[in-house]
Amino acid sequence: MTAALSIQNLEKTYDNGFRALKGISFEVQPGDFFALLGPNGAGKSTTIGIICSLVRKTGGSVSIFGIDIDSNFPAAKQMLGVVPQEFNFSQFEKVYDIVCTQGGFYGMPRNLAEERTEKYLKQLGLWDKRNVQARMLSGGMKRRLMIARALIHEPRLLILDEPTAGVDIELRRSMWTFLEEINRQGTTIILTTHYLEEAESLCRNIAIIDKGDIVENTSIKSLLKTLSREVFILDTANTLEDCPDLGDFDGRLLDEHSLEVTVEKGQSLTDLFTSLAAQEITVTSMRNRANRLEELFVSLLADERDAEGDEQ
């Protein structure tokens, strides 16, 4: 099957000599919901910039649904929609005009562009704001406006660079629902985000980039399986004065109604609950101390830093 996005040995060295990408390779399959993660300055936005032609690569190749951007960029662009990190629309244009005009840039007849503008502005809750200048919108509305604009030509591959940055939790969740729906309808989605909870709940596959190199490229499930330990917070109905006997588990008392317990790979939570039940301690709720992907992300990057330190 032809990959929705194929990146091979992609390199970028800026004019000032900074190597933003050091020959990265990865593929995204059609229909995937793919996360591209990495710390600030890792090379995520440079990669996206190259894919959508705003940054010129200095080596390697990029293909979108089998079309090499060097051989037929216009055809590749027809299949691509991009929601950038920064607002990049005219602040003085009306919401409707921004979206509808973008359709024209993709060669869409006016009536079709108008039809789609109405469809996406309604789906993204912006129809009531269609005659408002973009500068009057809230931050969340501006992000949704950029999503509507990126979807106007109904691309097969949609890339979102931190689409939920600065968006409140309610709106973020509604955007997740919207993105999941268009992914279900067949649009391949690539997402960069700093909210790892977002990547864990939405994405199936992941690439982690750091300092211009890919340090991990796998499915989220396989990645989570590599977790060697998880730390849980247990809330108890009983008032605890000391940390109860946790058997083989490491743990500590956080306050009189909560315990922090470390569960190593191979240990069973059933044993923990049996032990607590024997001491007549009732657990009312339980949660991970930190997002699981976040823990992995931090440890992967830490390993990378250690490896660099060893080499030096």
Which residues make up the interface to another protein (CB under 8 A)? 14, 49, 52-56, 73-75, 77-78, 80, 82, 84, 86-93, 97, 101-102, 104-110, 149
Q: Report, in Å, the least distance between residue 118 CB and another protein.
A: 17
Q: Report, in Å, the least distance between residue 29 CB and another protein.
A: 23
Q: Report, in Å, the least distance between residue 250 CB and another protein.
A: 50
Would you say 109 or 186 has its CB closer to another protein? 109
Q: Report, in Å, the least distance between residue 274 CB and another protein.
A: 58
Task: Tell me how far apart the alpha carbons of residues 41 and 18 are, in angstroms, rounded to a whole number.
Answer: 11
Q: Report, in Å, the least distance between residue 163 CB and another protein.
A: 16
Would you say 74 or 139 has its CB closer to another protein? 74
Would you say 98 or 202 has its CB closer to another protein? 98
CA 264 to chain centre: 28
CA 49 to chain centre: 16
Task: Tell me how far apart the alpha carbons of residues 24 and 22 are, in angstroms, rounded to a whole number.
Answer: 6
Would you say 52 or 259 has its CB closer to another protein? 52
Task: Tell me how far apart the alpha carbons of residues 191 and 101 are, in angstroms, rounded to a whole number.
Answer: 25
Contacting residues for 16 by C-beta, under 8 A, at least 6 apart: none
- Residues 145, 146, 149, CA angle at the centre, nearest 5°? 90
Task: Tell me how far apart the alpha carbons of residues 199 and 196 are, in angstroms, rounded to a whole number.
Answer: 5
Would you say 14 or 41 has its CB closer to another protein? 14
